[in-house]
Amino acid sequence: MKYLILALFCMLAVQSQAQKPAKTQSPAKLAKEAAELEKQGNYMKAAVYYETAYAEKEENLEWIYKAGTCYLYVRDYANAAKCLADVKEQQSNAKFDKPAYKYAIALKQSGQYNEARAAFEEFIAQYKGADLEKMRKIVDTEIKGCSFALKNKETATVTTSIIHLPAAINTEQMDFAPVAFNDGVLYFTSTKDDKAAIYRSQKVNSNWMRANMPDIFAGKMEKPNFGNAAFTPDGKRLYFTQCDLSEGGKPTCAIYAMIEEDGKWGNPVKLPDYINAANASSSQPNICIDGDKEILYFSSNRDGGKGGFDLWYCSRPANSNGFNFTLPKNLGNNINTTGDEMTPFFHTPSSTLYFSSDGWITAGGLDIFKSQGSQLKWEIVQNMGFPINSPADDLYFIISESHGGGYLVSNRTAEPNKVATTNDDIFYYGENKIEVTVKGKVFDCASKANGDAQTLTDVNIKLFERTEDGTEELIENKMLAVAEYKFVLQPKKNYLVEISRESYATASFEISTFEFNRTETHTKDLCLEIPSLKIEDIRAMIVPLEHNSKQNPYQLPSNPPTDPKTKEPYAEGTPVYEEFKRIEGIASTGTDGKVHYDGDGGEIIAYIPDIVAVVETPKKDPKSDKINKKDPKPDKKDPKQVKKDKRNGARENFAPEQYTDEPANIAFRLQVIAVRKLREDKYKELKTINGLRLEYEPTDDGLTRVMLVPENNNDDGTTGFKSKARALDALIFVVNNYGTFKTAFIAKYENGSRVGDAIRGWEE
């Protein structure tokens, strides 16, 4: 069924209100007619005939199996599950292709997640086919999809309303591919007249007008079926898909374009063959402008992809009149899987790509995902969760600021007007969203008090969310080059803002968004004070406290520390200057102008190295004192515990592709979150992930990083993932299955120290 959705439409597969055949026909004749209907592509009617034949002669399990597969093909999940339940035990019957697996899929897409998870586990435990390893991976992903759906339903905050569009747009056939314009105009594709075509409707006084085919398409199409419109931002170019239908209803599609000049639209032009590859479909174009380039994103099942339909892109100069696109490039591992990826929509203001996929962990069949980036550089994908996604297929997600929300396409039910899952309809979504912006400037308190307020640079600002249990979770951490900060806060939450700067006392304030009932901006200026310096503080400014022994002496600089106000060394007469000169005198009595503390909390003394006699060490007999350099292997995990972990949906492997280890002394660790006050019980759920362990890393500024790393250290002594692929797969798993950890990222460590920036995806 998926290839029909991918390309454009489903016209023959579903016929609404398929009537049951007359009871006067024999079961054998009904089954024969069903086989002919199936061959023609009328799967709904074929399913009804097969099911009727089986009801008359229940010993023929092949008929009910075929009825179930036909129902599943047209996405009638409830009837598919009912039929396949009778044959799910026929695993070894050569006449049936994985009936228990198809039964589990029907349960999952009916929203029966607990039952589906049990059915998947039962199937894979009994399956012995030649493709067992492949099916293990597929079933593992489906089981995780069931677990994700159950968890997301519990934790999702409903801030989005989903509205089924009226009969002026949605029909009993397939309605999809919405494109929003100003003035309430909506273009979309429909198969309401037994062929796919682009239609246009307009919303007037909250009512949608009857949809009509725009005149610009009249008499211009080479093929009878066309759809998936995409306009350039200036409205001067229109990209769309035309398709040929082969026998049985399977389409082959290609991308075309039309150009508007002097108010008139020209004839369609097929894009170059390197975009519309031979023996493949190219469809679902989406256009955006990036600088001086026009970027075309599209879906294709051409050679060179990751599997199934992948997302690709190509570009051309935005000021060009031709179709001189670059060669298409695959969007890469962060987006594409061995499954199907389709219906791309790039939202330019947020640099976010929205698309649908059944290759990632999904709550249904096709789920809507998002990833920030552009062209070949993308962050890890995030499942949009409920209510954007459903147990059914969800795709064609778009955002329209002018329409106050956006649109998506789904075959989900929407009573009372949509009671079946066998056709796609267009839905509007609107955000019930309140945004509170807090912003302000940071001043030096002393200068502000004197009436000459000076803003501070190089200020560190942290935003914490205070949860109900009192935990303060780090949400953002910025170093500001200019003394202005700005945060956009979510509704119904408590926050703490903390601002600090070297040589100044830390300032903070709390803000609760429970009191805000509409979107607004809250301004809060702050000033930082230089605390009164004690002699201990002055000494620590001059000689850092870690230099507490002659094994770690400190080279005294030639000038006193810098005054943060004047940006110059402290002047003569100040306490810091006088103490510096005193310590300078101490240093002059030692070696090389170095000093150190006489132990923790001790006095500052001159560095005088020990005099050590050099004694030649006798060589060891190479045959004696042998040392076993290999660490003992860790005990193997209890097989019963491994089985329990699998039953609970625990994760074992974290990369979709073969791992490539980094050089020695380099590893990657997954930072889940950073908090001020650690509550270990809050992360107990993460301890159940098979193959990983939790670690807590304290930082110099009083935070604790909650980290996930592999259970065992590496052979080179490092802690963490030796493969970036494995680390990123673990990150995808955590972000999409534990909703409170959306800001998690990968950090690179070299010789045990963190290096580089946060990693959120592959650099293709």
For residues 403 and 610, the model is more confident at: 403
Mean pLDDT value across residues 588-606: 89
pLDDT reading at 501 higher than 90: no
How high is the pLDDT of residue 157? Answer: 61
CATH of domain 160-431: 2.115.10.20
Q: Is residue 19 over pLDDT 80?
A: no
For 197, the token pair is 């075509």
What's the alpha-carbon Rg for the chain, to the nearest Å? 33
10 Å CB burial of residue 634 (0-12, 13-18, 19+) is exposed
Q: For residue 391, what pLDDT is reported?
A: 97
pLDDT value at residue 18: 61
Across the strands, what pairs with 165? none
The mean per-residue pLDDT over the stretch 591-609 comes to 89
131 has pLDDT over 60: yes
The rounded percent of the chain whose pLDDT value lies above 90 is 51
pLDDT-wise least confident of 48-62, 326-340, 552-566, 627-641:
627-641
pLDDT at residue 684 in the model: 84
Angstrom CA distances, 373 to 332, 347, 607, 764, stand at 12, 10, 54, 11
Least confident of 228-232, 434-438, 582-586, 635-639: 635-639
Give the pLDDT confidence score for residue 321 in this predicted structure. 84
Residue 614 has pLDDT above 60, yes or no: no
Q: Any idea how long the chain is?
A: 764
| pLDDT over 90 at 382, yes or no | yes
- Return the CATH superfamily for domain 2-155: Tetratricopeptide repeat domain (1.25.40.10)
Query: What is the per-residue pLDDT for 720?
Result: 94
Q: Are 48 and 20 in contact (CB under 8 A)?
A: yes
Checking if the pLDDT of 58 tops 70, the result is yes
pLDDT attached to residue 91: 83
Backbone angles phi, psi at 748, to 5 degrees: -95, 140
Helix or strand (DSSP H, E) at 123: helix 113-126
- The three state secondary structure string of 146-212 is HHHHHHHHHHCCCCEEEEECCCCCCCCCCEEEEEECCCCEEEEEECCCCCCEEEEEEEECCEECCCE
List pLDDT tens digits, range 338-370: 999 999 999 999 999 999 999 999 999 999 999
- Give the pLDDT score at 40: 84
Burial of 742 from C-beta contacts in 10 A (0-12 / 13-18 / 19+)? exposed
- Read off the pLDDT of residues 398-412 as tens digits, 9 standing for 90 and up: 999 889 889 999 999
- What is the predicted pLDDT for the residue at 639? 44
Q: Determine what percent of the chain is predicted with pLDDT higher than 70.
A: 88
Indicate if the pLDDT at residue 646 is higher than 50: no
- SS3 (DSSP) at 618: coil
The two three-digit tokens of residue 256, written as one number? 């075309």
- For residue 662, the model assigns a pLDDT of 82
Residues 676-721 have pLDDT tens digits of 888 888 888 888 888 899 999 998 888 899 999 999 999 888 999 9
Distance CA 48, CA 70 (A): 9
The confidence score (pLDDT) of residue 4 equals: 36
Q: Is the pLDDT of residue 623 over 50?
A: no
Q: Do domains 160-431 and 437-528 have the same CATH topology?
A: no
More confidently predicted of 617 and 659: 659
Residue 45 above 90 pLDDT?
Answer: yes
Of residues 73 and 635, more confidence is placed in: 73
Q: Is the pLDDT of residue 573 over 90?
A: no
The answer regarding whether domain 437-528 maps to CATH 2.60.40.1120 reads yes
Helix (H, G, I), strand (E, B) or coil at 605: strand
Output the pLDDT for position 656. 39
For residue 159, the model assigns a pLDDT of 67
Q: Give the global pTM.
A: 0.72
Dihedral angle, C-alpha 169, 170, 171, 174, nearest 10 ° = 110
Mean pLDDT for 608-635 is 45
Q: Mark 499-518 as b/e (b = at least 16 C-beta within 10 Å).
A: bbbeebeebeeebebeebee
Q: What is the pLDDT of residue 738?
A: 78
Domain-wise residue ranges, the chain: 2-155, 160-431, 437-528, 535-606, 640-759
* Coil vs helix vs strand at 356: strand
The more confidently predicted of residues 538 and 3 is 538
Mean pLDDT of the chain: 85
Residue 400 CB partners (closer than 8 Å, separation 6+)? 180, 406, 407
Mean pLDDT along residues 373-389: 92
